[in-house]
């Protein structure tokens, strides 16, 4: 019984951030019904499509009167809705906000797009890399004199998109409890990605951040906040920003060169990093873990996705779970009284039609 138990969400099937937002709500206990396109294709094999876990599926032909009627009947009984189409698509098929809110005035209608519902680029196609490029995020990530490096699709699709959509939906649901009125949540990845950069924009305004990649204390420019290769070719990370943590890192690494006391001398950072490269290359990753892991030196080994679930800390916390033979991240965050859980595996499209219609009290004739 997660904290969103009793909340009903209608999700119009999409890709990327929309499904991830729906997964987050399902993990927290919401009853999420996914409307899949009749005859549509799954991006991944169903068993491995983790973003679709924990909900039930019904297939509808939204171009037909029967399909739209069934969708609207579900919307009428929902608390929230998620759609991730280009602006105007839902209106074109007769399921836009005006229609849905007329049928259900308390509905919180969540819209997930890259560029937003309006603006010069709102009708254009795009992907994560494009959205974070426009907001200053991508420019800040990468090595000196190299090309910007996309941080997978974590900052745009999932951070700036899905998390802000889920947050917006929950905010709207809370407000609707007081007002009795729903509203539209316009979750644009460009807006969310820009919001994630709030601290960096603040640092830049204060003269504490340079536009050049690799010249700042959080972008790999600082010798005390970067990754180093070990003797076995594996990598470690250090993030010893605070002076006392920095001093401990130097002590544990066996560095007694007095020049290193000039921690914030940016001109010396490349030289310090080169020296640390040589030091960390003298031992294996495991040897450095023995010396540094669990101390205040702000250290962690760089693990791959096979290693991460097996790490003792992650194992002790249950950070990853195995469901139907698939290792995957566990629901987050954690609640002391109403914990979230993976409600089930990714559904086979259309497999839950009868149960959904019965449970939600929908009596629209089948197609």
Which DSSP string do the residues of 177-221 spell out, in sequence order? HHHS--EEEEEEHHHHHHHHTHHHHHHHHTT---SSTT-STTTT-
Query: Any idea how long the chain is?
Result: 367
Q: What is the pLDDT of residues 194-209, one digit of tens each?
A: 999 999 999 999 999 9
CA dist 367 and 354 (Å) reads 12
Q: Verify whether residue 127 is a known catalytic residue.
A: yes
What's the whole-number mean pLDDT along residues 302-311?
Answer: 98
pLDDT for 39 equals 73
pLDDT for 363 equals 86
Catalytic residue from among 79, 157, 186, 352: 157
CA dist 67 and 75 (Å) reads 12
**pLDDT tops 90 at residue 48:** no
Burial level of 1, CB count in 10 A (0-12/13-18/19+)?
A: exposed
pTM (two decimals): 0.94
pLDDT for 33 equals 98
CB-hemisphere CA count at 13 Å for 147?
A: 4
CA dist 149 and 65 (Å) reads 46
Rg of the Cα atoms in the chain: 24
Q: What is the pLDDT of residues 18-40, one digit of tens each?
A: 999 999 999 999 999 999 998 76
Q: Verify whether residue 257 is a known catalytic residue.
A: no
pLDDT for 43 equals 58
Domain ranges in the chain are 8-196+331-359, 225-305
Q: Give CA 295 to chain center in angstroms.
A: 29
Domain 8-196+331-359 in this protein, CATH class: alpha beta
CA dist 173 and 122 (Å) reads 26
CA dist 132 and 147 (Å) reads 14
Which DSSP string do the residues of 33-47 spell out, in sequence order? EEEEETT---SS-GG
Helix (H, G, I), strand (E, B) or coil at 139: helix
pLDDT for 26 equals 98
Catalytic residue from among 127, 296, 311, 359: 127
Within 10 angstroms of residue 324's Cβ, the number of other Cβ atoms is 12
Categorise residue 135: left if φ over 0, alpha if ψ from -120 to 50, beta otherwise: alpha
* 225-305 CATH: 3.30.1540.10
Question: Three-state secondary structure along 318-337?
Answer: CCEEEECCEEEECCCCCCCC
pLDDT for 1 equals 84
Q: Tell me whether the omega of the peptide bond preceding residue 333 falls within 30 degrees of 0, making it cis.
A: yes
Contact (Cβ atoms closer than 8 angstroms) between residue 355 and residue 33: no
């Amino acid at each position: 019984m997660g904290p969103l138990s009793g909340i009903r969400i209608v999700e119009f099937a999409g890709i990327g951030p929309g499904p991830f937002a729906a997964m987050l709500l399902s993990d927290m206990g919401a009853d999420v019904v996914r409307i899949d396109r009749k005859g549509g294709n799954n991006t991944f094999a169903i068993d491995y499509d983790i973003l679709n876990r924990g909900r039930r599926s019904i297939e509808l032909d939204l171009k037909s009167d029967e399909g739209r009627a069934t969708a609207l009947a579900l919307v009428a009984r929902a608390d929230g809705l998620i759609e991730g189409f280009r602006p105007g698509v839902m209106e074109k098929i007769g399921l836009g906000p005006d229609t849905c809110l007329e049928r259900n005035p308390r509905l919180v209608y969540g819209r997930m797009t890259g560029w937003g519902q309006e603006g010069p680029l709102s009708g254009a196609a795009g992907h994560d890399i494009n959205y974070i490029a426009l907001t200053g995020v991508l420019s800040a990530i990468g090595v000196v004199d190299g090309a910007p490096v996309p941080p997978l699709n974590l900052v745009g699709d999932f951070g700036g998109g899905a998390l802000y959509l889920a947050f917006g939906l929950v905010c709207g649901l809370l407000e609707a409890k007081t007002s009795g009125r729903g509203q539209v949540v316009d979750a644009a990845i460009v807006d969310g990605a820009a919001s994630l950069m709030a601290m960096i924009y603040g640092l830049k305004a204060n003269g504490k951040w340079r536009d050049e990649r690799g010249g700042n204390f959080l972008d790999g420019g600082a010798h005390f906040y970067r990754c180093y290769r070990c003797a076995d070719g594996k990598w470690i990370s250090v993030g010893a920003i605070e002076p006392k943590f920095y001093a401990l890192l130097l002590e544990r690494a066996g560095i007694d060169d007095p020049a290193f006391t000039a921690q914030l001398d940016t001109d010396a950072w490349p030289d310090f990093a080169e020296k640390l490269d040589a030091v960390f290359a003298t031992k294996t990753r495991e040897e450095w873990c023995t010396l540094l892991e669990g101390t205040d030196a702000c250290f962690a080994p760089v693990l791959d996705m096979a290693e991460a679930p097996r790490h003792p800390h992650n194992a002790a916390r249950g950070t990853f779970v195995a469901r139907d033979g698939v290792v995957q991240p566990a629901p987050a965050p954690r609640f002391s009284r109403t914990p979230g859980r993976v409600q089930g595996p990714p559904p086979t499209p259309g497999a839950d039609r009868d149960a959904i219609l019965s449970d939600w009290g929908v009596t629209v004739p089948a197609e």
